[in-house]
Amino acid sequence: MNFQPILLFLITLFTLYGSFTKHVYVWNEWVWIYMKPTITILVIIYAFLRPVSKATVNYKRLVIVGLVFSLGGDVFLQYGFFIYGLVSFLIAHIFYTIAYFSGIKLKFSAIGIMMFAIPLAGFLFYLTPYLPEDKKIPVYCYCFVIMLMGVASYERNRILKSGPTKKLLFGAIFFIISDILLAIALFAHPISYLRFFNYCTYILGQWGISASIDLDQLPKDSDKGEKQSSNQKKPKKDLKKKNNKRTRKEK
C-alpha cells in the first residue's frame, strides 16, 4: 500500500488546522505548539518512504538528517530557545546543501548567487536595525548558510533539469521565504498573519525538499555508468589471473 498520499493529506490537514487554531482561537495555543513538530515528523516519514536508486540513496539520507535537525529547530523555537533553534536549522541547511552536491559536480554560477544573495542582502539591510546586538552575528551567519543552500538547489536544478529538482528549488525558495517571514515576525513586526504565512511557507519548503527524493532525480545513465565501470574492472583482474597461470605453466 502506498502511504505517501495519506501522509500528504495529513500534512495538508494539520497545516490548515494548525494555522486556523493559532490565528483564530487563542485558547488552543497548545495545538500550535505541538502541531508544527508533528507536521515535520510526517514530512520525515514521507521522505523516508520516498523511493530512491543507488545513485540517490546518499541524497535521501542527508535530506532526512536535515529534516531531523529541522524538527529539533521547531521544538526549540516553539519553546523560545532562539539560538538553539537557529543552530539546529543552520545544521539542517548544511546537510541539505551537502545533499545537493551528492551525485553530481556543482559549480556556482553568477546568476544563482545573485538570485539569492541580493534578496537576502536587502532583507538583512532591512532587519539589522531591529536586531539585538547579541543576535546579529548568528542571524548573519544563518543567512549566509541559507544563501548557499538556495544557490546549491538552483545549480542542481540547472544541471539535472528534472521534475524532482524543480520541487527541490521550489522547496528551497519557500524555506528561505519562511525564514525571512519568521525573522520579521520575531524582531521587526510581531503581526499574526506573518506567522501564518511563515507556517505555510515552511511546510511547503520542507515538502518540496523531501519530495525531491526520487528515483528519477539523477539521469538513469548514472547507475549504468557505475555498473559499467565495475564490469570494466573485472576483465582486468581476469587477465591478470590468466597471465599468472600462463607464467606458472611455463615454469
Is 58 exposed, middle or buried, given 0-12, 13-18 or 19+ CB atoms closer than 10 A? middle
Contact 51, 215 (CB under 8 A): yes
Contact 33, 75 (CB under 8 A): no
Alpha helix positions (H), the chain: 4-23, 29-49, 57-78, 82-101, 110-127, 133-160, 163-183, 192-211, 221-250
The three state secondary structure string of 84-134 is: HHHHHHHHHHHHHHHHHHCCCCCCCCHHHHHHHHHHHHHHHHHHHHHCCHH
3-state secondary structure 50-72: CCCCCCCHHHHHHHHHHHHHHHH
Phi, psi of 82 (to 5 degrees): -65, -50
Q: What is the pLDDT of residue 239?
A: 46
CB 40 within 8 A of CB 206: yes
Q: What is the pLDDT of residue 194?
A: 76
Domain boundaries along the sequence of the chain: 4-219, 222-251
pTM: 0.78
Render each residue's pLDDT in the chain as its tens digit; 251 residues: 454 555 555 556 555 555 555 544 443 555 566 777 888 888 899 899 888 888 788 999 999 999 999 999 989 988 889 999 999 999 999 999 999 998 888 889 999 999 999 999 999 999 999 999 999 999 999 999 999 999 999 999 999 988 889 999 999 999 999 999 999 988 988 776 777 788 888 988 999 999 999 866 666 544 444 444 344 444 445 545 555 555 555 54
Residues 6+ apart with CB under 8 A from 45: 7
Q: What was the pLDDT predicted at 229?
A: 39
